[in-house]
Copies of this chain bind each other. A is one copy, B any other.
């Protein structure tokens, strides 16, 4: 770790790869000899368009998708997608169906519900969202416009380890917290989206990867900026895009490629997660994982301590040891260690060591 930098376990905005930050810093006053910062150049210039289009093609390449898919860059976060999805695709006759596996999955459903065009296909709420609903639990109305899933549940620390079968119903996934963290058969999805501030870049852009055929016609009555076909037809350049965020996402995608792509990311992320789950499982119940074992996330490891006092102490002492952002979300309590692509193995090792020491001192 660079002097005076910390290991940052925040759930998002989150740690970025250090080489990416350094590259951006170096060229911040003069991007590729344009004499301008990347934040000063025209979004209609060849220099910017190259950045924009390279980010798109690298992302498709990493996902193993062809040109029947399109990459869009949209503002407003995943939260704006929640209503755009419903407004673009669902109707009263063909509602959007939702699997409720956590907080954001439920928020997505709520936006369809406001419009009276949402339906629940499965929920693990009664289980306090400790598991991701299984294929058997999903009761999908075949007249649905789509099935929506949240692929990794940041707050609860659960993640899908299968791709739901939906027959002829298009599958939509919010992958905000595990996008590009592992290989998935992305071709089974009609529409994938991710707020980038966890695994991919600075908050301010939502990455959409969708089948072109799925997004080419939006309802005529929709406002311009809420139509996917506006973004599709104009290469996400109908209006000024959040250029700096897209530029950083492009750098992160290039960094993932250099490291060995999604297979390598998955290997690293599995190894990191295993270290923390081992620290929990071998703690004789001192640390209690929130997620059920077969739904455990590779991205967010959630656990509680024997009492809230110890939890506060844990957060404070972790920070003193250069381990930041380990406090869990208020709805689960306890700890959450977010270990996205950019978190190095050494950071996780340091946290696991700290967990062992803390347990011994506070048993």
Binding site for B on A (CB under 8 A): 2, 4-6, 8, 10-16, 18, 21-22, 24-25, 28-30, 33-37, 39-43, 75-80, 82-83, 87, 110-111, 114-115, 195, 197, 201-205, 221-226, 238-245, 248, 322, 324-325
Known contacts: A40-B13, A114-B221. The answer to whether A6 contacts B35 by CB under 8 A is: yes
Q: Is the CB of A30 within 8 A of B4?
A: yes
Q: Which secondary structure characterizes the binding site on chain A?
A: loop
Closest 4 CB pairs of A and B: A204-B242, A6-B35, A83-B223, A75-B75
> What would 9 more interface pairs be, CB under 8 Å, given A34-B324, A83-B225, A111-B224?
A4-B33, A5-B30, A11-B42, A13-B40, A18-B29, A25-B29, A80-B225, A204-B245, A242-B245
What are the residues of chain B within 8 A of A13 when measuring CB–CB? 39-43, 240, 243
Q: Is the CB of A226 within 8 A of B5?
A: no
Q: Is the CB of B10 within 8 A of A244?
A: no
- Name the distance in Å between A261's Cβ and chain B's nearest Cβ: 23
How many Å lie between the Cα of A180 and that of B324 in the bound state?
37
Q: Is the CB of A36 within 8 A of B324?
A: yes
Q: Is the CB of B4 within 8 A of A35?
A: yes
How many Å lie between the Cα of A269 and that of B174 in the bound state?
46
How many Å lie between the Cα of A36 and that of B10 in the bound state?
11
How many Å lie between the Cα of A29 and that of B42 in the bound state?
26
Q: Is the CB of A28 within 8 A of B29?
A: no
Q: Is the CB of A22 within 8 A of B16?
A: no
What are the residues of chain B within 8 A of A21 when measuring CB–CB? 28-29, 37
Q: Is the CB of B225 within 8 A of A76?
A: yes
Q: Which of B5, B29, B77, B87 contacts A22 (CB 8 A)?
A: B29
Q: Which of B11, B25, B222, B240 contacts A203 (CB 8 A)?
A: B240
Known contacts: A8-B40, A40-B13, A223-B114. The answer to whether A239 contacts B79 by CB under 8 A is: yes
What are the residues of chain B within 8 A of A239 when measuring CB–CB? 77-79, 195
A-B contact pairs, 16 of them (CB 8 A): A8-B40, A8-B41, A10-B42, A13-B39, A15-B40, A21-B29, A24-B28, A25-B29, A35-B324, A75-B77, A76-B76, A77-B225, A82-B223, A111-B223, A114-B223, A115-B223
- Name the distance in Å between A249's Cβ and chain B's nearest Cβ: 11
Q: Is the CB of A242 within 8 A of B203?
A: yes
- Name the distance in Å between A200's Cβ and chain B's nearest Cβ: 11
What are the residues of chain B within 8 A of A223 when measuring CB–CB? 82-83, 87, 111, 114-115
Most buried by B among A30, A40, A110, A203: A40
What are the residues of chain B within 8 A of A16 when measuring CB–CB? 37, 39-40
